[in-house]
A and B are shown apart, each in its own frame.
Chain A
Amino acid sequence: MAVEYIQPEYEVVRNQERCIVCRVCERQCANQVHEYLKDSNRMVADDSKCVNCHRCVALCPTRALKIVKSPHTFKENTNWSGKAISEIYKQAESGGVLLSSMGNPENYPVYFDKMLLNASQVTNPSIDPLREPMETRVFLGAKPERIERDEKGRIIRSLPPQIQLSMPVMFSAMSYGSISYNAHESLARAAAELGILYNTGEGGLHEDLYKYGKNTIVQVASGRFGVHKDYLESGAAIEIKMGQGAKPGIGGHLPGEKVGMDISRTRMIPEGTDAISPAPHHDIYSIEDLRQLVYSLKEATGYKKPVIVKIAAVHNVAAIASGIARSGADMIAIDGFRGGTGAAPTRIRDHVGLPIELALASVDKRLRDEGIRNRVSIIAGGSIRSSADVVKAIALGADCVYIATAALVALGCHLCRSCHTGKCNWGIATQRPDLVKRLNPNIGFRRLVNLLTAWQHEIKEMMGGMGINSIEALRGNRLMLRGVGLNEKELEILGIKHAGE
């Protein structure tokens, strides 16, 4: 095209003094940014192809590369940002819906960053996790409202199915298809090693990973891909996906080119066909329908598996959660609007949903107000970035959190937000064998284990500082939180006081 409306976002800066022409950048860039010029024996780059994934930067052995934001600018103003302008150019050219990946990047408040944690001083000793037991084990599942005793007066210990986790963090749903086999294997093995769960997402479960079933949540989504009896029985829990924080109200679409032999078999669809998850479940048009699916799944698995219902955080999330709690579900997963995705319409990703912090606070409060909080466990997801976010989410009232983006980042993801291209240079969001092999699960699983081990240490440190040595005493303990820079309404919804109060 003669007119270039859109200019490269990044520039690849190469320090020719340091470049030894090893060509690793060229070999490792699936976007073919780098090129070797034989005549002059030097490397050059085509900035327009760069997605800023940093694969070349990370592998350059002489640190000769860096990627900088292009100083190119439109005549922007507050209203017409460069992004707004380029998006118009793109749509004027393509006539299509804009697609994006990963979580909402826009400048909405991040409430986790506006809450501070408490610590003990004088009147109540802080507890040193290096010296005293510091417990992060949690149980997920419905709790009985009364107890019964046998004829000897002993408590009858029959409970609805429970999940025991070594720490209140799980890997949330990412389908095999949206991410690679090696990414899945890394998650599965890390979950097994850590004593937590990972989630298959809606793409079914590769037969090689059935052995990690006790650490697996099997998801049932609107496309019902890969759902069969063995699949349901293989997992520790079943999740019904009603919605996803990154794209509430929107289904999923795995392009046919990603549906190779293994994925085709796992999803139970023909090779090369698009895998389209409808926006709604076509058998769930009401809460009663959901209840039927919950019980169908329980019936199918002999009431041995807890059922999770996952919803996107939307405006009336509290009422929806209340309905779900009464539908027989054992757990509710709430996914905030910053949650990641392999691909979502940009407008949906950037403009729909709620911050998880507010959604979580209002759901927890609503369920308590209705006296049904113990009927369900709450799993909060949608951009939990650190152990501090975990602690804050638990203090707001979550039983457990879901992480996905953080896990991918641990696996090497650089948040270039180009998942939808299928050319993930880090071997995560791709099905191209040459790219998939870049993620060695032996390394990947170890990095995930390291990440959560580190988080667990930090969680223990923060708990110890608060004088709490079992994480259940942190759950819903909102006095441990104080807001900074929040208005009355925000504080009210979060159920916390302002710092200094």
Chain B
Amino acid sequence: MEYVIIGNSTAAVGAVEAIRRNDKTGKIVIISNEKYHVYSRPLISYLLLGKTDEERMKYRNDDFYSEHRCELKLGRTAQRIDVQEKRVILDDGESVSYDRLLVASGSSPVVPPIPGLEKVRNKFTFTTLDDAKSLEKALFENARVLILGAGLIGLKCAEGLSKRNVEIICVDLSTRVLSSILDDQSSEIMKQHLEDHHISFYLGRQVTGFKDNVACLDDNDEIPFDVLVLAVGVRPNVNLIKDIGGKTNRGILIDERCRTSIPDIYAAGDCCESMDISSGQIKQMALLPNAYMQGECAGMNMSGVDCIFDKAIPMNAIGLFGKHIMTAGTYTGQTYYESDGKDYKKLFYSNNRLNGFILIGNIEKAGIYTALIREKTPLDTLDFELICKTPGLMAFSRETRAEKLGGVINEYLGSPVGISCVE
């Protein structure tokens, strides 16, 4: 069996590990346009921050490929897929044949069509190690860094730059920070927190154009800057599939076995769209845990073991300047809410199910909430009032707890009737 994986990040690793669980001998070829050993993309902001280094950014140990016997084709780009011949054609013309193909091509940063952008010096996107390295090189003392986008990437970048003695300005079309994962109030808490850490915001503003290194806003404000970071979002890399007539939307469409619409071709990770079970909608969820689990699911199915991944939900754990945010699911339904102005908790529920939550500050045992969403646990089977206040196993029934903690299994009872004393 010949497995080919396009991409060398989280989903690819998930696939490799799954394939090798089932198939010790098949050939695995990994094709990536990046030249690095697999590394964790979200860590690039920590690299800037100095909390990690390239060595520690490696997502798997150095011997990962050899241990899993993967053939690497790094720094090479897959140009197209030949479905008839079942092979992948690379940029240098080499063709790599496959029995099963995984497209884990990830996503690319969106570069907005803003007039004058092409003339801006020191402009960067922020999704790859190379991005981070280039950005770092462009920094200098007291530089003004303008970050376009106050979402996850933009703010992690801001944090990454925070120890660099630079001025950080953030502009976003949205009136709120982290608008994709926070509601108004929580967003305000985070904005305050970020401002306390010397990030300046221009929210609800649009950059209408650049005059060299000056950004012009829709209200005619002008922001001069030295370095520009574009963090307005990412777009799935769908072309390989789209080109051969596979079904795509914004991302590649896959089923719960991570199969594309084309036989023997699977897709996983940021290049895909999949079902968010908290909302029932098909959406792009460019999240590392999902990428791994999709990759793993694809790998299992590719190597002949039927496997379903139908537990995808949006979930984010993000720390910014020591304040942790955890969110998951969909923000619909009734709410449970508590906040002291600094910490924040809001749970969203309807129809006897937890739909989503937002936590800021106290994130202890947040996974218990996540599990309620993921497992669609009927809320009337537990003490919802208690679990709202304190996530814990206490809220579950005694039986459920016993099952979870193993207490009832095989409890040793001695010999119920031992040596009889009756003649």
> Chain A interface (Cβ within 8 Å of chain B)?
139, 141, 159, 161-166, 189, 191-197, 211-212, 214-215, 236, 442, 445
**Contact A442 B419, beta carbon cutoff 8 Å:** no
Of the stretches B29-37, B89-97, B112-120, B410-418, the one at the interface is B410-418
**Contact A215 B420, beta carbon cutoff 8 Å:** yes
List 9 additional contacts besides A163-B421, A165-B421, A211-B416; criterion CB under 8 Å.
Answer: A159-B423, A163-B423, A191-B421, A192-B415, A192-B418, A192-B419, A193-B414, A442-B413, A442-B414
Alpha-carbon distance A211/B413, docked complex (angstroms):
12
B residues 389-421 in Cβ contact with A at 8 Å: 411-421
**Contact B416 A215, beta carbon cutoff 8 Å:** no
Alpha-carbon distance A442/B415, docked complex (angstroms):
11
From A141, which residue of chain B is reached at the shortest CB distance?
B423
List residues of chain B with CB within 8 A of the CB of A212.
416-417
**Contact A211 B414, beta carbon cutoff 8 Å:** no
List residues of chain B with CB within 8 A of the CB of A164.
421-423
**Contact B423 A166, beta carbon cutoff 8 Å:** no
- Knowing A442-B411, A442-B412, the reply to whether A211 touches B417 (Cβ < 8 A) is yes
Complex partner residue of A194 from B411, B412, B418, CB under 8 angstroms: B418
Alpha-carbon distance A214/B416, docked complex (angstroms):
11
Complex partner residue of A195 from B411, B416, B419, CB under 8 angstroms: B419
Min CB gap A36→B, angstroms: 22
List residues of chain A with CB within 8 A of the CB of B418.
189, 191-195, 215
How many residues on chain B are close to A (CB under 8 Å)?
13
> Chain B interface (Cβ within 8 Å of chain A)?
411-423
From A170, which residue of chain B is reached at the shortest CB distance?
B421
From A214, which residue of chain B is reached at the shortest CB distance?
B420
From A236, which residue of chain B is reached at the shortest CB distance?
B422
List residues of chain A with CB within 8 A of the CB of B412.
442
Alpha-carbon distance A159/B423, docked complex (angstroms):
10
Interface on chain B toward A: helix, strand, loop, or mixed SS? loop
**Contact B421 A161, beta carbon cutoff 8 Å:** no
Min CB gap A354→B, angstroms: 29
**Contact B417 A194, beta carbon cutoff 8 Å:** no
List residues of chain A with CB within 8 A of the CB of B422.
163-164, 214, 236
List residues of chain B with CB within 8 A of the CB of A195.
418-421
From A196, which residue of chain B is reached at the shortest CB distance?
B421
From B414, which residue of chain A is reached at the shortest CB distance?
A189
Min CB gap B416→A, angstroms: 5
**Contact B423 A194, beta carbon cutoff 8 Å:** no
Alpha-carbon distance A211/B417, docked complex (angstroms):
7
Min CB gap B108→A, angstroms: 55
Alpha-carbon distance A212/B419, docked complex (angstroms):
10
Between B411, B413, B419, B420, the greatest number of chain A beta carbons within 10 A of the residue's beta carbon is seen for: B419
List residues of chain A with CB within 8 A of the CB of B416.
192, 211-212
List residues of chain A with CB within 8 A of the CB of B419.
166, 192-195, 215
Alpha-carbon distance A162/B416, docked complex (angstroms):
22
Min CB gap B372→A, angstroms: 29
Min CB gap B307→A, angstroms: 39
**Contact A193 B415, beta carbon cutoff 8 Å:** yes
**Contact A192 B423, beta carbon cutoff 8 Å:** no
List residues of chain A with CB within 8 A of the CB of B420.
195, 214-215, 236
22 contacts between A and B (CB under 8 A): A139-B423, A141-B423, A161-B423, A162-B423, A163-B423, A164-B421, A164-B422, A164-B423, A165-B421, A166-B419, A189-B413, A193-B418, A193-B419, A194-B418, A194-B419, A195-B421, A214-B417, A214-B422, A215-B417, A215-B418, A442-B414, A445-B414
**Contact A214 B415, beta carbon cutoff 8 Å:** no
Min CB gap B138→A, angstroms: 52
Complex partner residue of B421 from A189, A236, A442, A445, CB under 8 angstroms: A236
List residues of chain B with CB within 8 A of the CB of A196.
421
List residues of chain B with CB within 8 A of the CB of A445.
414
List residues of chain B with CB within 8 A of the CB of A194.
418-419
